Structure 1
Amino acid sequence: MTFVLALVALAFALLPAILACANLIALRTPEPESAQDGLVSILIPARDEEGTIVGTVRAALASTGIAVEVLVGDDHSTDATAGLVRALAETDPRLRLVPVPALPEGWTGKNHACAALAAEARGGHLLFIDADVTLTPGAAAGLVAHARATGAALVSAVPRQIMRSLGERLTVPMINFLLVGYLPVPMMRASLRPALGAACGQLVLIDRSVYGETGGHGAIRGRLHDGVFLPRILRHAGHRTDLVAGHALANCRMYRSFAESWAGFSKNAHEGMATPRALPVWTLLLLAGHVLPLVLVLAAAFGLATPTAGLVALAALVVSLATRAAITLITHEPAATVLLHPFGVVVALAIQWNVLLDPKRAGAAVWKGRSYPVGRA
């Protein structure tokens, strides 16, 4: 029996390994062209972001290779966010503070702020970034160059994730691991199927005319997971979307503790894995490929599994950790997180199951002081 389980573990570990090999070849950092024409509107929704907004805005204003304007949407902040942006705007006319109107019924806060910013933007491309994302100078130009070269109406990337606490290192690396290990990027590029569309809401470039045609954030007004639903609405309308490597384009420190990470990943869970249909499948894929190998290796070490099963399980564990190591190395994440991988998988699944099963979370998602009924859009 343990030998059969070890074979299952090896098969499930090989699946993301094969996909990751193909994806890491396909996902490249876009190179900016020299002196590109046009204007990019860098749009930053902000709600109580006084700790990061100055660095984010300064990095956006330092963009090179294409003209930019930077708009910050003050979404009813109660801290110094608006004042800090106003002070910066006095020194650079390319920066504007946009007061976000009151949140209408049926909208989530980020989508409403992004829509308000888009309405004020003048650029031919809209680059939406979170308030904790720091762009590199060539990021905007590189994303526009890639969009023009490929004909993609939306181009997104996962910024290099900054992680310092153990809680961050247990949770945040799953973003890149799931994306690179389980999304078939070459197939995504060859097809317009909405289900294959994917983006990272931290960094999204959209063609302005397509944004207006499809309704943009207004079309997903009640959703929390813009990285899932924006590319889907564009693909439904017949537009290409794409992903590129983002570690050289921007960096981001999403959370600063395990509690913040748990709350943040719980927010989007109902629109990701945490559905009655999807979560059992993801649980099988992740536990069998990345946790079962370690369990069987330990079982063999204590005489609870046959030596042959232990060797096969060890091979599965090596494949799993090697896959994670390759993704970690190429995305410039902390190397120390590789050995945490099986435990990170368990934590990720615990977050998803908690959201699915906890009655308090079944009816609402809470973020930035606002509560949103799940599935209302």
Structure 2
Amino acid sequence: MALLIGCAALAALLVHTLVNARLLRRPPAAAPAPGPGEVAVLLPLRDEAGRIEPCLRALLALPPAVRLLVLDDGSTDGTADVVRRVAGGRATLLSGRALPQGWLGKPHACQQLADAAGDAEVLVFLDADVVLAPDAVARAVALLRTTGVDLLSPYPRIEAGSPGERLVQPLLQWSWLTFLPLRAMERSPRPSLAAAGGQFLVVRREAYERAGGHAAVRDKVLEDIELARAVKRAGGRIALADGAALARCRMYTSWRELADGYSKSLWASFGSPAGAVAVLALLLALYVVLPATILFGQWAGLAAYALGVAGRLVSARASGGRAFPDALAHPASVLLFAWLVARSYRRRAGTTWKGRPTWLR
């Protein structure tokens, strides 16, 4: 009976993933270039000299009316020199101020960039590992306006090279396509029903300021999700979108980088240790324990495994990710994710990222 109930739950989640994949917002095929003063692209950088060049070269291909602002947040590796060499006078390079007490690094950098963006109607926050298509900003802004939302998160196509990356990174899109009701999230005023990805974030300036900007999330390691919640609290609407045709992103290039990157922030995704235990227990039961029963002659375990893999395939197709053979290792992906969550909780008090703490007591 337990196996049948588990398989029914997995089937329901697969149907939900299919519905979300169909409803997922997608940018128009073409859009007019933004006019002067409409859009500012904001890029915070700290010690990114080794990987910022592809991002910068892509920004140079954006329409000339798009304003580019780059903030060097106390880098010690020559990041500012790379920006000057590649972007020249096309981008305005700012030097970050000292980090005030009570702030984490990225929210402080983003707030400085927003303050320097003048009267731009739309702010586009970007991470250093994101490479935009030439029409990405125009199409993303067009989608923001046609949907009527205040904050849009077009998820880039996540690139993964090493086995560890290929196991873990696809879970980003899979998680919200599987468990988050996308249209309900757009309609609901509840801040708890929110998701966003800080790699590529598009927000109306008016809504950003009404929400308090990044000052409202100054001490949050997951500042992207918290900013989306702040927009909701201020009466705004948010949406996720498929940004695979607009941008690509390789967040980490090694297992060590990935493990450290996830360790700095995964603990903040669950609200509390009890919430983390409950979520992990559900994931492990459905996507690891149930499929493993095939080893003991329970053929329902094969159905459970197939349903889990099917969900991964749907999310990969919907988000521009790699489908085969990566989806076949879904139980291993969930196991590895559970280990990363446990590691994140174990290390959160002492975790640093680029020389700064990621948790303020």
Q: Name the TM tier (shorter chain).
A: over 0.9
* Distance in structure 1 (CA, Å) of the matches to 2:31 and 2:231: 26
List aligned pairs for 1:188-203, cutoff 5 A.
188-203=185-200
85, 88, 97: which is aligned to 2:86? Answer: 88
Per-residue CA distance 1:209-264 (angstroms, 9 max, x = gap) = 22122221111001110222011001001001111111111101111122211111
- Residue 248 of structure 1 aligns to a residue whose secondary structure is strand
Could you say which residue in structure 1 is the equivalent of 2:93?
97
TM-score by length of 1: 0.90
Provide the residue aligned with 2:106 in structure 1: 110
Q: Deviations over 1:117-143 (max 9, x none)?
A: 111113211100100100111211111
- The alignment partner of 1:198 has SS state of coil
Q: Which residue of 1 aligns with 2:305?
A: 317
Q: Does structure 2 conserve the Cα–Cα contact (< 8 Å) formed by 1:75 and 1:99?
A: yes
1:109 Cα deviation after fit: 0.8
CA-based RMSD: 1.7
Corresponding position of 1:236: 233
> 1:69 maps to what in 2?
67
Residues 1:370 and 2:349 aligned together: no
1:350 corresponds to which residue? 339
SS at structure 1 position matched to 2:334: helix
Please report how far the alpha carbon of residue 11 of structure 1 lies from its aligned counterpart in structure 2 after TM superposition. Answer: 2.8
Aligned twin of 2:213:
216
Q: What TM-score do the two structures reach when normalised by structure 2?
A: 0.94
Give the SS at the match of 1:211. helix
Specify the SS of the correspondent of 2:177.
Answer: helix
Measured after TM superposition, the shift of residue 176 of structure 1 is: 0.8
CA pair 323-13 structure 1, distance change in 2 beyond 3 A: same
Partners of 2:94 and 2:33 lie apart in 1 by 28
CA contact (8 A) 1:129 1:203 kept: yes
> 1:111-190 alignment to 2 at 5 Å?
111-122=107-118, 123-190=120-187
Native 8 Å contact 2:242 2:318 kept in 1? no
Return the offset for 1:67.
Answer: 2.7
**Residue type of the alignment partner of 2:310:** A
Is the contact between residue 61 and residue 68 of structure 1 (CA under 8 Å) also seen in structure 2?
no
Kindly state the Cα deviation for residue 7 of structure 1 after the two structures are TM-superposed: 1.7
Matched residue, 1:297: 294
Provide the C-alpha distance between the structure 1 equivalents of 2:186 and 2:336, rounded to a whole number of angstroms: 31
Offset at residue 95 of structure 1 (A): 0.9
Q: Which amino acid aligns with 1:53?
A: I
Q: Deviations over 1:290-314 (max 9, x none)?
A: 11232111221xxxxxxxxx23221
1:55 paired with 2:43, answer: no
The question of whether the paired residues in 2 share the 8 Å contact of 1:160 and 1:246 is answered with yes
State the identity %.
37
* Residue in 2 that maps onto 1:261: 258
Q: Which amino acid aligns with 2:351?
A: A
Could you tell me which residue of structure 1 aligns to residue 319 of structure 2? 331
| Match of residue 46 from structure 1 | 45
1:30 deviation in Å?
Answer: 0.8
Q: Size of the alignment, in residue pairs?
A: 357
- Letter matched to residue 342 of structure 1: P
Aligned residue in 2 for 1:226: 223
Please say if residues 210 and 231 of structure 2, whose CA atoms lie closer than 8 Å, have aligned partners that are also in contact: no
In 1, the alpha carbon distance for the partners of 2:227 and 2:183 equals 20
Check the 8 A contact 2:44/2:72 in 1, yes or no.
yes
2:273 is aligned, of 272, 276, 279, to 276
Runs of 5+ consecutive residues of structure 2 not aligned to the other structure: none
CA distance in 2, matches of 1:333, 1:151: 28
- Please list the CA deviations of residues 181-236 of structure 1 after superposition, one character each: whole Å capped at 9, or x if unmatched: 11110111221211111100111011112212222111100111022201100100
Q: How many angstroms apart in 1 are the aligned matches of 2:173 and 2:330? A: 12
Is the 1:43–1:127 Cα contact (8 Å) retained in structure 2?
A: yes
Q: In structure 1, how many angstroms separate the alpha carbons of the residues matched to 2:175 and 2:43?
A: 26
Please report how far the alpha carbon of residue 36 of structure 1 lies from its aligned counterpart in structure 2 after TM superposition. Answer: 4.3
Report if aligned partners of 1:68, 1:94 keep a CA contact under 8 Å in 2.
no
